[in-house]
């Protein structure tokens, strides 16, 4: 039972972490921008999720629809990515450090925007988390909502893999990521492609934030903690790799869950021991591709 408890706790964390890290990977993979603002999208999604559920409750929507409402809220919140991408266009041909500074500035701006709209006091949802009850496995009792989030996270991972590998647009996206000049020569609207990619990356973060909020709370700085872990995921999995994001998220989630259970003082340390190990023995990450 203890093992199952650790496993489910780790997978719940990994599901949300995967979404944020996948957004980071997608944007880097295609646009070659390390987007530090991905944590802010996660926080923004959480606040929009609260607003959406509050609206759903006032309209009397049944609880069974809440997960769909949250995913939809995350998609709507992702439209903010359109505006952010317009800003980032100024940095596409600039130095990497300039791009990072710009996304860092966006992250700080988002903190104040969120505080301006929703205030500094953390917000939490009531009447949602436990509405689905608990699943009892022997002596173990797990909130059903946690399992729903794990399922949605897994489902989105599969959907993303399908989109990137099996659809025409996904193939174009991967091809343009490899060689944008060639893509443009073949008639691909690279500017539009970048916009779609960035909004999709944003959506992964905002959906993650919206999904976690019934089990948690929304606070102005909630993105900071996650963005640090998201970068650990990226280092472990390999920058720009989707399978890497999935493996990295599961590694971080399960490691945290296990270490917190055995020796909580080493919570962060354990993750960064893995990060350092990967950086030393395989600097490009497990699924990352070697660069010249």
Partner 1 sequence: MNRRKFLKSASSFGLVAASGVYAPALAQAGPLKVGLLAARSGALGNIGEGGLRAVQWSVDRLNKQGGIAGRRVELVVEEETSPKDTSDRFKKLVLQNGVECVQGVISTGVTLSLGVLAEESRTIFIAWDGTTQSGVDETMPNPKYTFRSTDNEVEAIIAGVLAINRYQGQFRTIAGFNNDYSYGRNAWSVFQALLKKYKIDNQSVSEQWVKVGSVDLTPAVNAVRASDPDLLYLSVLFGEAPVLMKQASAAGLFQRAKLVYSMGGFNQSQLKKEFTPEGMILGLNTLDFDYPNASPLQKEFVAYYMDRFKEPPTSAAERAYFAMELYARGVERAAKAVGKWPTKEDITANMEDLEVESLGGKARMKKNHIPEQLFFIGTTTHDNKYDFVTVKDVQAISSEQFQKPPNTDFWKWIESAKFEI
Q: Which chain residues interact with partner 1 by CB under 8 A? A: 2, 5-6, 8-10, 12-13, 16, 46, 111-112, 115, 119-122, 124, 126-127, 129-130, 134, 141-143, 145-146, 212, 215-217, 219-222, 224-226, 256-257, 260-261, 264-265, 267-268
Nearer Cβ to partner 1, position 145 or 198?
145
Nearer Cβ to partner 1, position 113 or 190?
113
Least distance to partner 1, CB of residue 205, Å: 14
Q: Which two tokens stand for residue 289?
A: 């591709």
Helices and strands (H, E) in the chain, number of each type? 12, 2
Nearer Cβ to partner 1, position 104 or 129?
129
Least distance to partner 1, CB of residue 246, Å: 18
Least distance to partner 1, CB of residue 170, Å: 30
Question: What b/e string do you get for 1-33 counting C-beta neighbours within 10 Å, with b at 16 or more?
Answer: eeeebbebbbbbbbbbbbbbbbbbbbbbbbbeb
Nearer Cβ to partner 1, position 100 or 268?
268
Q: Which two tokens stand for residue 50?
A: 């609260």
Dihedral angle computed from the Cα positions of residues 93, 96, 97 and 99, in that order, rounded to the nearest 10 degrees: 60
Nearer Cβ to partner 1, position 2 or 93?
2
Helix (H, G, I), strand (E, B) or coil at 220: coil
Best CA proximity match to 258, nearest among 242, 244, 269, 245: 269
Q: Which two tokens stand for residue 53?
A: 């559920």
Least distance to partner 1, CB of residue 242, Å: 22
- Write the Ramachandran bin of 133: left for phi over 0, alpha for psi from -120 to 50, otherwise beta: left
Nearer Cβ to partner 1, position 58 or 121?
121
Nearer Cβ to partner 1, position 91 or 217?
217
DSSP state of 240: T
Main-chain dihedrals φ then ψ at residue 14, nearest 5 degrees: -65, -35
DSSP state of 287: S
CA 232 to CA 279: how far, in whole Å? 11
Distance from chain centroid for Cα 107? 15
Least distance to partner 1, CB of residue 136, Å: 10
CA 129 to CA 96: how far, in whole Å? 41
């Amino acid at each position: 039972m203890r093992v199952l408890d650790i496993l489910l706790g780790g997978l719940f964390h990994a599901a949300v972490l995967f979404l944020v890290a996948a957004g980071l990977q997608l944007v880097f993979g295609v646009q070659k921008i390390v987007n530090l603002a991905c944590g802010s999208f996660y926080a923004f999604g959480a606040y929009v999720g609260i607003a959406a559920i509050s609206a759903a409750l006032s309209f009397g929507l049944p609880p069974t629809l809440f997960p769909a409402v949250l995913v939809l809220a995350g998609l709507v919140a992702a439209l903010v990515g359109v505006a952010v991408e317009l800003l980032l266009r100024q940095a596409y041909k600039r130095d990497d450090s300039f791009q990072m500074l710009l996304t860092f500035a966006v992250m700080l701006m988002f903190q104040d925007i969120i505080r301006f709209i929703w205030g500094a006091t953390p917000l939490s949802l009531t009447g949602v988390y436990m509405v689905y009850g608990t699943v009892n496995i022997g002596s173990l009792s797990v909130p059903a909502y946690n399992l729903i989030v794990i399922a949605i996270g897994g489902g989105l991972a599969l959907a993303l893999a399908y989109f990137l590998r099996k659809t025409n647009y996904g193939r174009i996206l991967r091809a343009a990521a490899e060689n944008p000049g060639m893509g443009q020569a073949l008639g691909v609207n690279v500017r539009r492609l970048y916009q779609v990619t960035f909004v999709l990356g944003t959506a992964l973060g905002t959906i993650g934030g919206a999904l976690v909020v019934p089990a948690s709370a929304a606070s102005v700085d909630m993105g900071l903690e996650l963005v640090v872990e998201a970068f650990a995921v990226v280092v472990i999995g390999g920058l720009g790799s989707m399978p890497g994001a999935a493996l990295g998220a599961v590694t971080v989630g399960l490691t945290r869950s296990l270490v917190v259970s055995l020796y909580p003082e080493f919570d962060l340390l354990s993750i960064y021991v893995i990060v350092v190990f990967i950086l030393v023995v395989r600097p490009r990450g497990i699924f990352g591709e070697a660069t010249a």
